[in-house]
């Protein structure tokens, strides 16, 4: 029972480099989310999707892009990484926006 | 608009003592309320949730929370702390309105001493 799987688990980037984080869920959930977690800040919503082919901005979307081409996958892209994007990124999914969210194990990203 | 305030970034208790983690919310529509727990280097997992109905909600690992509309609170309690309860706890709010999403508080780290 995989649930929500994030790849990679760790990554170090140089400033200006690009990368894509992949999130996959096997629960047939409509909603998927990307959060970032920083010390003392809790979890802040970057982008989310309410179904295949849809995306929407969250609280802190600048510097990130997302795509949901398939229902089970939600990709988070950084086009030009900055040190301020050093964080732990969590993907989550849920049936609806008001139901329990299931989280992946996180991706620790360091931008130097 | 919705928001969550967790009072206290760190709470320390002795093993066997009462655990009380405070959460106050703000929501313009009837809220759905959640408590999540995060162990070191792991993702978040659901402890309990309130949607409608009974205001006292029981969750996993002996935790419970009470929804108090008049106080806009959803405090988390456990009668007797165990060393394994040491973790970070997050309160979150959403609603059954439109394309609602979860809004999290900043978290409370629970420290349990022998």
A98 vs B contacts (CB less than 8 Å): 32, 51, 94-96, 100
Q: Among residues of chain A, what percentage have pLDDT more than 70?
A: 99
pLDDT confidence tier of residue B28, bands split at 50, 70 and 90: confident
pLDDT confidence tier of residue A21, bands split at 50, 70 and 90: very high
> Which pLDDT belongs to residue A38?
94
> Which pLDDT belongs to residue A99?
86
Residue B51 in this model has a pLDDT that exceeds 70: yes
From CA A37, how far away is CA A52, in angstroms rounded? 25
User: Which among A101, A104, A106 has the least Cβ separation from residue B102?
Assistant: A101
Residue A1 in this model has a pLDDT that exceeds 70: no
Residue B62 in this model has a pLDDT that exceeds 90: yes
> Which pLDDT belongs to residue A98?
83
- CA B106 to chain A, closest CA, distance in angstroms equals 4
Q: pLDDT per residue over A9-18, tens digit each?
A: 999 999 999 9
B29 vs A contacts (CB less than 8 Å): none
User: Which among B44, B100, B106 has the least Cβ separation from residue A103?
Assistant: B44
Q: For residue B40, what are the contacts with CB-CB under 8 A and spacing of at least 6?
A: B87
User: Which among A35, A41, A90 has the least Cβ separation from residue B106?
Assistant: A41
Residue A71 in this model has a pLDDT that exceeds 80: yes
Q: Strands, DSSP E only, in B1-114?
A: 2-7, 10-14, 19-27, 31-38, 44-50, 56-58, 64-68, 73-78, 87-95, 103-104, 108-113
A41 vs B contacts (CB less than 8 Å): 106
Average pLDDT over residues A54-71: 96
Kindly report which listed range (A70-79, A86-95, B97-106) carries the lowest average pLDDT score: B97-106
């Amino acid at each position: 029972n995989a649930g929500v799987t994030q790849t990679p688990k760790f990554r170090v980037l140089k400033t200006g480099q690009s990368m894509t984080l992949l999130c996959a869920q096997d629960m047939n959930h409509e909603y998927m989310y990307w959060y970032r977690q920083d010390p003392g800040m809790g979890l802040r919503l970057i982008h989310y999707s309410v179904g295949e082919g849809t995306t929407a901005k969250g609280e802190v979307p600048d510097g990130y892009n997302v795509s949901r081409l398939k229902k089970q996958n939600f990709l988070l892209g950084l086009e030009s990484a900055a040190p301020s994007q050093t964080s732990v990124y969590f993907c989550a999914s849920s049936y609806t926006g008001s139901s329990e969210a299931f989280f992946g194990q996180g991706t620790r990203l360091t931008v130097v | 608009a919705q928001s969550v305030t967790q009072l206290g970034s760190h709470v320390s208790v002795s093993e066997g003592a009462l655990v009380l983690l405070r959460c106050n919310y703000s929501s313009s529509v009837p809220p759905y309320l959640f408590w999540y727990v995060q162990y070191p280097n792991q993702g978040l997992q659901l402890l309990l949730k309130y949607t409608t109905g009974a205001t006292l909600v029981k969750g996993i690992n002996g935790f419970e929370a009470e929804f108090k509309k008049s106080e806009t609170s959803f405090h988390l309690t456990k009668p007797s702390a165990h060393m394994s309860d040491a973790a970070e706890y997050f309160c979150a709010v959403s609603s059954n309105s439109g394309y609602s999403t979860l809004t999290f508080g900043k978290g409370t780290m629970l420290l349990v001493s022998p």
